[in-house]
């Protein structure tokens, strides 16, 4: 079972990063677990509540690599009943705002490591000394992403980490080191291209679009 230390260790597999990969997919809502976030520029530390998916990586959740990933594109779909009244003014009955999110990768390695990875269940660090990461942050490669798509026909959860500080109440500026948006999504489209093959892995281009449930 994953915990905050595992999640922190996995996104900082090289010991250098203090922010998570931008996108994590999970088949469950997860729980909150306490950890300490240290700002690498100021040295200031703060205790934060980190969203932690239940279960094991690759089976129940997947950290997507930022390796050659494009920008995350957000489109708001406002669901409402808008009608002009007899006095010529507009009136709207707002139901909900739903997100459409899309992103892509270019030349993403088809596998994240040189062999099946094993991570310490408490620290998130590799247990094999000869484990080599092909993606720059140890996040999911092309095949892992494709496998998730093929095994998730219905809705699942997407955790996002970008500077959306208005999601938090008090002291909102200290939350860069955690996921700040959790939405339930379906796949709208998924396309991939095998660009190049080599002796250790392929290079893939992947395009993904998701729609909020």
Query: Per residue in 83-137, pLDDT tens?
Result: 888 998 998 888 889 999 999 999 999 999 999 999 998 889 999 989 999 999 9
What pLDDT, on the 0 to 100 scale, is given for residue 44? 58
CA–CA separation, 34 vs 69, rounded Å? 29
pLDDT of residue 115: 95
What's the confidence (pLDDT) of residue 196?
97
Question: What pLDDT is stored for residue 107 in this prediction?
Answer: 98
92 CB-side CA count, 13 A: 7
pLDDT value at residue 113: 96
For residue 208, count other CB atoms closer than 10 A to its CB.
20
CB contact set of 43 (below 8 Å; sequence gap of 6+): none
Residue with more model confidence, 56 or 2: 56
| Interatomic CA distance for residues 86 and 54, integer angstroms | 54
Domain extent, residue 127, equals 4-212
Name the pairing type of β-strands 181-197 and 156-160. antiparallel
**pLDDT for res 149:** 98
Pairing type for strands 45-52 and 61-63 reads: unpaired
Q: How far apart are CA 171 and CA 173, in angstroms?
A: 6
pLDDT: which is higher, 145 or 41: 145
- What's the rounded Cα separation, in Å, for the pair 11 and 22? 10
pLDDT of residue 39: 54
- Please give the pLDDT value at position 47: 60
What is the reported pLDDT for 130?
Answer: 92
Please list the residues that pair with 63 across neighbouring strands: 24
What are 3's two structure tokens? 């915990």
Please report the pLDDT score of residue 38 as a whole number.
58
Q: Is 107 left (phi over 0), alpha (psi -120 to 50) or beta?
A: left
**Confidence category of residue 181, pLDDT binned at 50, 70, 90:** confident
Those residues with Cβ within 8 angstroms of residue 75's Cβ, 6 or more apart along the chain or in another chain: 99, 100, 101, 102
Confidence band, pLDDT 50/70/90 cuts, at residue 51 = confident
Write down the pLDDT at residue 148. 98
Q: Is the pTM of this model over 0.75?
A: yes
- Tell me what the mean pLDDT of segment 135-145 comes to: 96
The CA distance from 17 to 120, in Å, is: 18
- How many domains are contained in the chain? 1
pLDDT at 98: 94
- Give the mean pLDDT of the chain: 88
Helix (H) or strand (E) holding 6: helix 4-11
Which token pair is 11?
């996104």
């Amino acid at each position: 079972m994953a915990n905050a230390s595992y999640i922190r260790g996995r996104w900082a597999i090289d010991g250098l990063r203090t922010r998570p990969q931008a996108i994590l997919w999970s088949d469950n809502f997860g729980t909150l677990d306490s950890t300490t976030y240290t700002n690498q520029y100021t040295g200031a530390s703060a205790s934060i509540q980190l969203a932690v998916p239940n279960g094991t990586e690759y089976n129940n959740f997947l950290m997507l690599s930022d390796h050659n990933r494009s920008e995350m594109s957000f489109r708001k779909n406002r669901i409402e009943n808008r009608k002009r009244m007899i006095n010529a003014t507009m009136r709207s009955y707002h139901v909900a705002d739903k997100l459409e999110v899309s992103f892509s990768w270019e030349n993403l390695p088809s596998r994240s490591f040189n062999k099946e990875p094993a991570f310490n269940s408490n620290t998130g660090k590799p247990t094999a000394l000869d484990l080599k990461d092909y993606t720059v942050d140890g996040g999911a490669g092309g095949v892992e992403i494709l496998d998730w798509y093929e095994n998730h026909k219905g809705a699942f959860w997407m955790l996002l980490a970008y500077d959306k500080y208005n999601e938090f109440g008090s002291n909102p500026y200290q939350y860069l080191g955690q996921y700040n948006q959790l939405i339930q999504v379906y796949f709208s489209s998924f396309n991939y291209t095998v660009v190049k093959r080599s002796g250790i892995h392929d290079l893939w281009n992947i395009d993904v679009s998701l729609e909020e449930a």
